[in-house]
């Protein structure tokens, strides 16, 4: 479905807080880890569905800076899943035109993961169908703080220039829609700068059971909303003038 508020050529940027893996598993008498494994299956489904539903950039929250506080065994298992994903999925990502980048800190990740990330990013760099961003050891507040530290050395600063410092990319589209699964209604330090005007969609669905049809439903609700960006008339995200300068 194409909203009149999104110009034909512009693909959406959607962020997803993939919540509920643990509850999905324990309700079935399974170890929490089985929920994370099922969560990877859901990632595969949604990465495949996203470009067909008008999404050009998909940012997935895989591991927050606060997740280090989980039991060691669960952290280790999540890191193993990430390592497998990075090595086993690259071929399929390349074949499907998916460019993978990872946002967040890399210096605290277990041995080998930072290299695996660099290899996956290089191998998928030409993908033009979907930009998949995976947030690992990620905190939006830390990201903004680091950008501010870099900005302190500059003599002039625009929103665009600061965005580049925050996201590490020139021209990354602001987030249009943030989806959180499992009934929780928080942003949990996710995309606080890029998502300043994001529409929010909360669903009771647990992440392991999230399907392409759930994504389609979230987008239908999104397209039905009026985005005014502080003005009085609905306008498309790419038509918002950058009036404010710092």
Residues contacting residue 35 through CB under 8 Å, at least 6 positions apart: 20, 21, 22, 23, 24, 25, 26, 206, 208
Task: By CB under 6 A, name the one of 11, 13, 36, 133 that touches ligand FPP.
Answer: 36
Task: By CB under 6 A, name the one of 78, 117, 166, 215 that touches ligand FPP.
Answer: 78
Q: CB of 26: closest distance to ligand FPP in angstroms?
A: 8
Span near ligand FPP by CB under 6 A; candidates 20-28, 146-154, 195-203, 209-217:
20-28
How far apart CA 16 and CA 207 sit, in angstroms, is 10
Task: By CB under 6 A, name the one of 33, 40, 166, 177 that touches ligand FPP.
Answer: 40
Tokens coding 193: 């700068």
How far from chain centre, in Å, is Cα 51? 14
107 is catalytic: no
* Helical packing angle, 32-49 and 72-88, nearest 10°: 30
Span near ligand FPP by CB under 6 A; candidates 12-20, 44-52, 113-121, 230-238:
12-20
How far apart CA 126 and CA 145 sit, in angstroms, is 30
| Enzyme catalytic residues | 19, 67
Interaction site with ligand FPP (CB under 6 A): 18-23, 36, 39-40, 43, 62, 67, 78, 81-82, 85, 134, 182
């Amino acid at each position: 479905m194409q909203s009149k508020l999104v110009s034909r050529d512009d693909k959406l940027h959607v962020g997803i807080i993939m919540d509920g893996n643990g509850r999905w598993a324990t309700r079935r008498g399974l170890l929490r880890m089985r929920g994370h494994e099922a969560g990877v299956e859901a990632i595969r489904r949604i990465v495949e569905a996203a470009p067909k539903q008008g999404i050009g950039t998909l940012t997935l929250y895989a591991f927050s800076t606060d997740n280090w506080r989980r039991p060691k065994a669960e952290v280790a298992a999540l890191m193993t899943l990430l390592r497998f994903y990075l090595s086993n999925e690259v071929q399929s990502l390349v074949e499907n035109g998916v460019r993978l980048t990872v946002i967040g800190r890399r210096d605290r990740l277990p041995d080998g993961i930072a290299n695996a990330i660099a290899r996956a990013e290089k191998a998928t760099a030409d993908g033009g169908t979907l930009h998949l961003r995976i947030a690992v050891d990620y905190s939006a507040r830390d990201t903004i703080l680091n950008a501010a530290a870099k900005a302190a050395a500059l003599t002039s600063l625009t929103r665009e220039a600061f965005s580049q410092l925050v996201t590490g990319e020139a021209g990354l589209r602001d987030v249009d829609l943030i989806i959180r699964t499992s009934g929780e209604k928080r942003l949990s330090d996710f995309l606080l700068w890029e998502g300043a005007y994001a529409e929010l969609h909360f669903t009771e669905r647990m992440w392991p059971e999230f399907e392409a049809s759930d994504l389609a439903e979230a987008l239908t609700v999104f397209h039905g909303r009026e985005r005014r960006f502080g003005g009085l008339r609905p306008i498309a995200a790419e038509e918002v003038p950058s009036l404010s300068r710092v």
